[in-house]
Amino acid sequence: MVVKGIQASVDGRIMASADYSKSGSRIQAEEAGDLDTGILSRGAEELGLSLTTSMLERFQDFHRELADWNTRMNLTSITAWGDVQTKHFLDSLSVVQATGKGFLETAKLIDIGSGGGFPGVPLKIVFPGSSATLVESTRKKAAFLSHLVEALALEDVHILSDRAETLAQRSDLREAFDLVLCRAVARLPIVVELTLPYCRIGGLVVVHKGSDAEEELAASRTALKKLGGIFKEIRRVDLSGLSDDRYLIVFEKVSDSPAEYPRRPGMPAKRPLS
């Protein structure tokens, strides 16, 4: 394990604490990364997850890197520590409600359209025995992900900067994953075409969706059938810190996705399967 990045950030936090006690300034401490992780720890407990000190440190470092890079590029509109804990970290970890803990402990997962690293990176932090592949077509965002993985000293994380439509034709990626994740990328019929080709038979696709979940699900029947998936469940994410409607839609892969899918880049969105 590369310890350098973590060591540096721990040193940074120790200095920050000293500054904090001298000045009494909460803002100074927050800027330096000495953050209260109560919301995250309690929320994780609600999900049945017990976060260690080193996991909590990684989440603090994650937030610091996200906020820093976000000043130079558009990674997220959510940057306040309280909101990041609920709307990014806990929302990502809610995947455990669909899969169970055991499945995630050794899962080979892929996150399609990972952006700032959600939901793949929070899951990798909490389930270090998993293997994570993050697909992100925007090169600058992929550069952030590479930097993040190094800063958090995460092992067995692979960043691929290309379109999901293109990468799905690679033989080492096609039908090679236990779990395919996708949050906030496109409407569900499009997501079905972009995700199912990566899933092994018997594996799961878990998609985060908002209040339109039921309507999008109804529109996805044809795509699901063509791509070799079946609908397993829709689960409302029930977390005290999350007030808006959030759902996880779960599909199971039951037969091969025909080689013609996904269609060439842009086609799934231009002409969603119906």
Binding residues (CB under 6 A) for ligand SAM: these are: 113-116, 118, 135-138, 141, 163-165, 183-185, 194
Q: Do residues 51 and 41 touch, judged by C-beta distance below 8 A?
A: yes
Q: Determine which helix (DSSP H) or strand (DSSP E) holds 225, and give its type and residue range.
A: helix 221-227
Q: By C-beta, is 55 or 194 nearer to ligand SAM?
A: 194
Please say which residue, 183 or 253, places its beta carbon nearer to ligand SAM.
183
Closer Cβ to ligand SAM, 163 or 253, answer by number: 163
Provide, rounded to whole angstroms, the least separation between the CB of residue 147 and ligand SAM. Answer: 15
User: How many other CB atoms sit within 10 Å of the CB of residue 177?
Assistant: 25
CB of 209 to ligand SAM, least distance (A): 11
Q: Rounded CA gap, 144 and 74, in Å?
A: 11
Least separation in angstroms between residue 141's CB and ligand SAM is 5
Q: For residues 157 and 114, what is the distance between their CA atoms, to the nearest angstrom?
A: 12
| CB nearer to ligand SAM: pick between 164 and 217 | 164
Q: Which of 56, 66, 52 has its CA nearest to residue 13? A: 56
Q: Which residues contact 145 (CB under 8 A, 6 or more apart)?
A: 114, 117, 121, 134, 136, 159
Q: Where are the beta strands (DSSP E) in 210-246?
A: 229-236
Residue 190 Cβ vs ligand SAM, minimum distance, rounded to whole Å: 9
**CA 78 to chain CA centroid, nearest Å:** 15
Of 19 and 162, the one with the shorter C-beta distance to ligand SAM is 162
Name which of 235 and 263 has its Cβ closer to ligand SAM: 263
Please identify which residue in the block is written with the tokens 């890079």: 69
Round to whole Å and give the CA distance between 124 and 100.
Answer: 15
- Of 16 and 84, which CB lies nearer to ligand SAM in the complex structure? 84
CA gap 37, 102 in Å, rounded: 25
Residue 42: helix, strand or coil by DSSP? helix
Question: CB 254 → ligand SAM: shortest distance, Å?
Answer: 24
Q: What CA–CA distances, in Å, run from 142 to 77, 81, 115, 227?
A: 18, 23, 7, 27
- Name the minimum Å distance from CB 23 to ligand SAM: 34
User: Least CB distance from residue 255 to ligand SAM, whole Å?
Assistant: 23
The residue assigned the tokens 């540096």 is 8
- Select 115 or 203, whichever has its Cβ closest to ligand SAM: 115
Minimum CB–partner distance for residue 69 and ligand SAM (Å): 13
User: How many residues are present in the chain?
Assistant: 274
